[in-house]
């Protein structure tokens, strides 16, 4: 015969013991089988800059061991071997192994995360845009079935690079219908970070004080940097407040002409800076997106990510479109309640049209190559 309080105490003690056993089992399993990270086009500078960010524990957690697989064509085998050797010599405690792969048939085996960095070198004086889109289509048509066949069912795919980030994600989704659509994203963080840094320099504040800048549309094509919801913290003005005191960013920029002539124009400083980046910025963007995906984005902040449109903000369905999201509990969610004005809605329509045309051209090219649907 036990008193109810004693029974509750024993039950609580048993529960804590059970949770500790479960936690220990999970830790042992993670040590036995590390997370498998695959990176395509791994000879690129982005990959070189990305490896230390993945291996230092900040992205997946300080108790999660990882194995990195570098995938590229045979002509880059020597480059991949050099990267492997250098990464091994850095002796990251959480990097269980790093391997190079040049055989496409062994790609994505047991993959937990796949980072697609494949790019095409755009020169419209040499080839038409349609030909470049066809190159991207052929790459994705090879990758998607292999991901379905070899990767884990919950694999997460991130599309990055300097060209066709949205289209690559859309085509992998199209040619790999069993891959969960919510597990495929395109990274817009490079533009978001560069925009915040440019605004911070203009306003003479810390970059950390610029929040909620939204990147809409085609990440590596025609996109729109939306400052309507942007906030500014720590501005050195006549009015001061606590650390969480914020002001609308647009109210602090008195030179509105600068926004259109320098900041947002096709030849402006922002587009020029992103275009000249050699690897550090996009690598940081991929690492940040993964960190948010696994551990959540800062509470209350807007993050721009290319995700499958389901008609949010009147964007047509079926395309990967960069829009405002938040990450929580291992998944992302579009911030649907965000209000947009008529001008922004008109711009979104034009951006969506561009992405739809890219997709149509890509599917047309593949159909012409394989008229009976083989391969």
Instruction: Return the domain boundaries, the chain.
Output: 33-186, 189-363
Least confident piece of the model among 114-128, 214-228, 335-349 = 114-128
Q: In CATH, what class is 189-363?
A: alpha beta
Work out the percent of the chain whose per-residue pLDDT is above 90: 68
What pTM did the predictor assign? 0.86
> Residues 295, 88, 283, CA angle at the centre, nearest 5°?
45
Span 295-324, mean pLDDT?
A: 96
pLDDT for 322 equals 97
Question: Is pLDDT at 370 greater than 60 in this prediction?
Answer: no
**pLDDT of 20 strictly over 60:** yes
In this predicted structure, the answer to whether residue 373 has a pLDDT above a threshold of 60 is no
242 vs 195, which has greater pLDDT? 195
pLDDT bin (cut points 50, 70, 90) of residue 240 is low
Q: Among the listed ranges 71-75, 108-112, 276-280, 324-328, which one has the minimum average pLDDT value?
A: 276-280
- Domain 33-186 and domain 189-363 have a common topology: no
Segment 359-368 shows an average pLDDT of 74
pLDDT exceeds 60 at position 372: no
pLDDT at 141 over 90: yes
Q: pLDDT at residue 197 above 70?
A: yes
The CA-CA-CA angle for residues 159, 320, 337, to 5°, reads 120
Phi, psi of 141 (to 5 degrees): -70, -25
Give the span between the Cα atoms of 353 and 321, in whole angstroms. Answer: 11
> What is the chain's mean pLDDT, rounded?
89
Average pLDDT over residues 291-307: 96
Q: Which residues contact 199 (CB under 8 A, 6 or more apart)?
A: 210, 213, 227, 230, 249, 253, 263
Which residue would you say has higher pLDDT here, 33 or 231?
A: 231
- Please identify, in words, the CATH class of the domain defined by 33-186: alpha beta
Q: Give the whole-angstrom CA distance, residue 311 versus residue 336.
A: 10
Q: 38-96: per-residue pLDDT in tens?
A: 999 999 999 999 999 999 999 999 999 999 999 999 999 999 999 999 999 999 999 99
pLDDT at 1: 57
pLDDT confidence band for 169 (50 / 70 / 90): very high
Q: Identify the band that residue 32 occupies on the pLDDT scale cut at 50, 70 and 90.
A: low
- Report whether pLDDT(234) > 60: yes
């Amino acid at each position: 015969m036990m008193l109810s309080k004693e029974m509750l105490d024993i039950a609580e003690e048993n529960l804590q013991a059970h949770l500790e056993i479960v936690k220990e089992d999970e830790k042992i399993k993670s040590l036995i089988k590390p997370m498998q990270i695959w990176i395509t086009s791994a000879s690129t500078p982005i990959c070189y800059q990305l490896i230390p960010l993945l291996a230092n524990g900040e992205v997946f957690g300080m108790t999660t061991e990882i194995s990195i697989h570098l995938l590229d064509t045979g002509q880059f085998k020597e480059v991949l071997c050099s990267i492997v050797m250098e990464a091994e010599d850095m002796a990251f405690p959480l990097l269980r192994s790093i391997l190079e792969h040049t055989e496409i048939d062994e790609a994505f085996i047991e993959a937990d995360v796949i980072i697609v960095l494949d790019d095409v070198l755009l020169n419209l004086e040499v080839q038409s845009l349609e030909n470049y889109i066809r190159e991207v289509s052929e790459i994705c048509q090879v990758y998607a079935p292999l991901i379905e066949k070899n990767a884990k069912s919950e694999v997460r795919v991130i599309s990055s690079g300097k060209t066709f980030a949205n289209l690559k994600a859309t085509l992998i989704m199209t040619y790999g219908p069993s891959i969960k659509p919510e597990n495929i994203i395109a990274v817009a963080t490079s533009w978001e970070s560069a925009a915040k840094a440019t605004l911070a320099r203009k306003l003479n504040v810390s970059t950390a004080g610029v929040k909620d800048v939204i990147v809409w549309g085609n990440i590596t094509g025609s996109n729109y940097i939306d400052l309507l919801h942007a906030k500014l913290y720590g501005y050195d003005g006549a009015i001061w407040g606590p650390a969480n005191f914020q002001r609308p960013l647009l109210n602090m920029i008195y030179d509105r002409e600068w926004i259109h002539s320098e900041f947002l124009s096709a030849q402006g400083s922002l587009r020029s800076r992103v275009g000249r980046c050699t690897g550090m910025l996009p690598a940081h963007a991929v690492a940040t997106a993964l960190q948010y995906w696994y551990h959540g984005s800062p509470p209350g902040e807007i993050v721009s990510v290319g995700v499958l449109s389901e008609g949010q903000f009147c964007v047509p369905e079926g395309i990967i479109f960069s829009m405002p999201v938040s990450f929580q509990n291992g998944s992302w969610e579009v911030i649907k309640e965000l209000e947009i004005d008529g001008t922004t809605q008109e711009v979104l329509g034009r951006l969506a049209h561009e992405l739809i045309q890219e997709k149509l051209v890509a599917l047309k090219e593949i159909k012409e190559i394989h008229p009976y649907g083989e391969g």
